[in-house]
Amino acid sequence: MNSKYQICSNCVMDTSDPNIRFDENGVCDHCHDFETSVKPNWHTDERGRAELEKIIDEIKKSGKGRDFDCLLGLSGGVDSSYMLHMAVKEFGLRPLVFHVDGGWNSELAVHNINVMIDKLGLDLYTEVINWEEMRDFQLAFFKSGVPHLDIPQDHAFIATLYQFAEKYKIKYILNGGNLSTECVQYPMEWFYYGTDMKQIKDIIRRFGTIKMETYPFSSVLRHKVYLKYLKGVRVVKPLNNIPFYKNEALLFLQKEYGWKPYPQKHFESRFTKFYEGYWLYERFGYDTRRVQLSSLILTGQMTRDEALEILKNAPYDKNKIEDEFNYIATKLGISSDELRSYFNMPKKYYWDYKNQQNLFRFGAKFLHLFGVEQVKKRQK
Ligand SMILES: [Zn+2]
């Protein structure tokens, strides 16, 4: 174990990322990756806009004579909300907008989704995940001891997305993912792949207690190979082709739609708020804000000092955490003591269970080699 603490002299990533490397000036590999692989391929000027216009034309053509020309998943967070605005108002697209309700929507998320849909005059397709299955799936992940407890929510979103694409024969998926706020990648130990079916099956087999009969599953082979290469379904990330600044987007959405901001990225789900804000932070020492703030530093939206100031405080409210802890336990149908026992159990990681990491590693290298995907998960 690398025991010496070190923090990057340029961003705020530190040795809580077990694979971080520093150069002689104390600058980390995330910063170097940004300069050498992200920045040169990232165009938000006329060049990016021209590339985007071309794709928008293709999207419109593909949707001729159909009810929709693209697909967009709306979480109620800033990225997907802003993208929806751009898609409809700026690009003139006709997206099928869907939302996956995994049982943990915060009031803010519901509010934001409703104001966007109402103001834009759209229909919302909501996929409600069977709660008994969701709950059992989430508990299985708690019992497994791994950090990536978000997989049951994440996977449902991805699988539903591709089910919609297939059902409505939609070729283009708009994705709010963007380099501006997400150019620094989460370490693999923190967030493992949400579509590793081998791992999911292993954890369900060991810790699940009911049959997953309706929960939507999708393997990476199905959506990355079958749908992508055989059906021609494409994921487009328009926010990478235009100037996109988090604070400006937040202000714009509030003014234009009566949208309400969250205290932290991903907090639109009450579960994620608890899990990223408390569980990962206290049980594993992973502070997801480090990654998010480092992205903002590298893209010039925040100074390092501002980020350090934010990191001085815990990501959760210490006065409210006991209530929140009890709420999560009650909602999951277990006692607070049982939830506490999972918090205190020995830490496990993705490699403690069956997994397909080699397949992902190969796939990521392959896609990167062909310039298909700029930001991949960091490979060991
Ligand atoms: Zn750095």
Q: Is residue 88 part of a domain?
A: yes
Query: Which helix (DSSP H) or strand (DSSP E) does residue 98 occupy?
Result: strand 95-101
Identify the burial level of 94 via C-beta atoms within 10 angstroms of its C-beta, where 0-12 means exposed, 13-18 middle and 19 or more buried.
middle
Distance (Å) from CA 380 to ligand 1 centroid: 17
Give the residue numbers spanning the domain of 144.
44-370
Residue 60 lies in a domain: yes
375 is a domain residue: no
Q: What spacing in Å lies between the alpha carbon of 245 and ligand 1's midpoint?
A: 20
Is residue 33 situated within a structural domain?
Answer: no
CA of 307 to the centre of ligand 1 (A): 12
User: What distance in Å separates the CA atoms of residue 135 and residue 138, rounded to the nearest whole number?
Assistant: 5
Ligand 1 centroid to Cα of residue 290, in Å, is: 10
Two tokens, residue 31? 């910063």
Specify the pLDDT at position 220: 73
In the sheet where 95-101 sits, what is the strand order?
A: 124-128, 95-101, 70-73, 172-174, 234-236
How large is the average pLDDT for residues 324-335? 97
User: How many angstroms is it from 8 CA to the middle of ligand 1?
Assistant: 5
Examine residue 131 and state whether it is found in any structural domain, yes or no.
yes
Query: Which residues are 236's β-sheet partners?
Result: 174
Residue 203 included in any domain? yes
Write out pLDDT tens, residues 162-185.
999 999 999 999 999 999 999 999
Q: How many domains does the chain have?
A: 1
Give me the pLDDT at residue 148, please. Answer: 95
Cα 306 to middle of ligand 1, angstroms: 15
Residue 274 has pLDDT above 80, yes or no: yes
Q: Could you tell me the distance, in angstroms and rounded to a whole number, from the CA of residue 302 to the centre of ligand 1? A: 14
- Rounded mean pLDDT, 47-52: 95
Q: What is the pLDDT of residues 73-103, one digit of tens each?
A: 999 999 999 999 999 999 999 999 999 999 9
Is residue 357 situated within a structural domain? Answer: yes
> How many Å lie between the centroid of ligand 1 and the Cα of residue 298?
8
36-47 average pLDDT score: 94
Average pLDDT over residues 335-350: 97
| Percentage of the residues of the chain whose pLDDT score is greater than 70 | 95
What pLDDT score was predicted for residue 370?
58
Look at residue 2 and tell me if it is in a domain: no
Tell how far the Cα of 27 is from the centroid of ligand 1, in angstroms. 5
* 153: Cβ contacts below 8 Å, ≥ 6 apart: 100, 102, 104, 138, 269, 271, 272
For 206-251, the pLDDT digits (tens) are: 999 999 999 999 877 777 777 877 778 999 999 999 999 999 999 9
Q: How far is the CA of 291 from the centre of ligand 1 (A)?
A: 10
**What's the distance, CA 343 to chain centroid?**
23
Taking the centre of ligand 1 as the mean of its atom positions, its distance from the CA of residue 93, in whole angstroms, is 38
- Quote the ligand 1 centre to 210 CA distance (angstroms): 44
Query: Which CATH number does the domain housing residue 339 bear?
Result: 3.40.50.620
Cα distance between the two ends of the chain: 15
Say which amino acid occupies 358: N
pLDDT of 155 > 60? The answer is yes
**Distance from the CA of 358 to the center of ligand 1, in angstroms?**
27
Asked if residue 252 lies in contact with residue 79, where contact means CB atoms within 8 angstroms, the answer is no
Gap from CA of 18 to ligand 1 centroid (Å): 14
| pLDDT score for 371 | 54
CA of residue 189 to ligand 1 center, whole Å = 18
- How many angstroms does the Cα of residue 12 sit away from the middle of ligand 1? 6
Locus of tokens 């509030």? 254
Distance (angstroms) between ligand 1 centre and the Cα of 31 equals 4
Share of the chain above pLDDT 90, in %: 81
CA of 370 to the centre of ligand 1 (A): 26
